[in-house]
Homo-oligomer: A and B are copies of this chain.
């Protein structure tokens, strides 16, 4: 708590790691690299974010389940592209108790190869379809790159993965739309701006037909992939022999999708909305939406405490998540600092003067603006203020994001934008892999892919070879 925060826009990386520990989100001093602890405040935010994810999955007919963590080697190896994509990243369990295991087991790096053998058992006929399940679990990846809390870790503790199987390609395509809708809705409710891109073929999920990804931007101008949706076609169905009997009695392979988000969503939430005083949390996911800070003066202490408690009970009755900070070893100023750091959307100050005037003082976290309201209109004003904060946070985040999405006509321009860490650049491309790699190398950035849901963007000639362009691709520096 006594750590001083660096300026967010000057040194984002330092700011990020300092705010994580200062605001008691995570503690990455754990003795294994890339693995950390969710502290109580971080855990509470995580819980509220997952609540939104669960609601949206349940509402669209996905059912929550839980699969084992350990996968036998032989199952992991069934889909050729999949194993090629993941084998350098898996942790292996080779010993049980004091003796070696007969069958080597791996810690799931993702759960296709744990789930699909069961799909084979569950799916018999078209009446069993669709199957739509999801789970929220830890996955493990033996990262060789530098690890970063919440962004690149070896234990991903908050992996929400959904897996579905369908009778027809048409049903699959509809499910992919639903998946995109679920993730868009989650990010919208978290007030996070994003672009959806179809990843280039060489960057798709190992085993997929194609992958779509949601990218946002952190304040250092790097992209952060916060969600992916994969069309698996019938690849895994063939590898795991998942067939069903259709209405005419013949057997067909199912069509599948999977889609995932992780604690990177929370990294984005913190990075995008935070400021030099610490977290700024959207009211929907803030563990406490308001905190009451009493201003005690001699002789008036009892009265201030009584009024504070009345207000606490009123606000709770109105359905708000509110805390009364009655600690006696901190000054009001120290409490302001503490709750600002933790991102509480509204501070309610109550002192003898407020009571005398039958008012309270409200301070909003996003703009730090102060106002006095009458006791009578307090609840209504707080509810209104929470909406205003939400609206303002959304607008601010979107505006900053839009300012960092550029288009460019030549490589020099792209280079300038990308190396100055300014964001994402859209350029025209002929579709040839060679040109794409040349571009990536030239500017030390990577291609995010082509726009998925946005309206058409005008295409001119390929920025590399100058042949007629086919599509627009996005390029940026990535985390």
Contacts and interface: CB of A to CB of B under 8 A. Distances in A.
Interface of A: 27, 29-32, 35-40, 43-44, 47, 63-72, 75, 87-98, 103, 105, 107, 114, 117-118, 121, 127, 133, 138, 140, 142, 144, 155, 157, 329
Contacts of A40: 63-65, 133
Contacts of A69: 69, 138, 140, 155
Given A27-B118, A35-B68, A37-B66, A97 B87 contact: yes
* Interface of chain A: mostly helix, strand, loop or mixed: mixed
A118 B423 CA distance: 38
Contacts of A89: 97
Most chain B beta carbons < 10 A, residue from A65, A66, A140, A155:
A66
A118 B38 contact: no
A97 B142 contact: yes
A43 to B, nearest CB: 5
Oligomeric state, in copies: 2
A144 to B, nearest CB: 7
Contacts of A71: 32
- List the 8 closest A-B pairs by CB distance, nearest first: A96-B142, A40-B63, A92-B95, A35-B68, A38-B66, A88-B97, A97-B142, A94-B94
A75 B37 contact: no
Most chain B beta carbons < 10 A, residue from A43, A68, A69:
A68
Contact of A144 (B32, B65, B97): B97
Nearest to A104: B95
Given A32-B68, A121-B29, A91 B96 contact: yes
A118 B26 CA distance: 12
A200 to B, nearest CB: 25
Contacts of A329: 127
A413 to B, nearest CB: 39
Most chain B beta carbons < 10 A, residue from A31, A38, A94:
A31
9 contacts: A32-B70, A37-B66, A37-B118, A43-B63, A44-B64, A88-B97, A90-B96, A92-B94, A93-B107
Contacts of A43: 63-66
A76 B458 CA distance: 60
Contacts of A96: 90-92, 142
A75 B31 contact: yes
Nearest to A101: B91
Given A88-B97, A98-B87, A30 B68 contact: yes
A459 B9 CA distance: 74
B121 A70 contact: no
Given A36-B68, A43-B65, 11 more contacts: A30-B67, A31-B75, A32-B72, A37-B66, A37-B67, A40-B63, A69-B69, A70-B91, A91-B93, A97-B142, A138-B138
Contacts of A140: 69-70
Contacts of A92: 93-96
Contacts of A32: 68, 70-72, 103, 105
B88 A155 contact: no
Contacts of A91: 70, 93, 95-96, 105
Nearest to A157: B66
Contacts of A70: 32, 35, 91, 140, 155
A34 to B, nearest CB: 9
A478 B98 CA distance: 26
Contacts of A127: 329
Nearest to A138: B69
A75 B91 CA distance: 19
Contacts of A155: 68-70
A118 B39 CA distance: 11
Contacts of A98: 87-88
Contacts of A67: 30, 37
Contacts of A30: 67-68, 114, 117-118
A133 B38 CA distance: 11
Contacts of A36: 68
Given A65-B37, A68-B155, A31 B117 contact: yes
A32 B40 CA distance: 34
A124 to B, nearest CB: 12
A474 B144 CA distance: 54
A219 to B, nearest CB: 26
A94 B97 contact: no
A360 B140 CA distance: 53
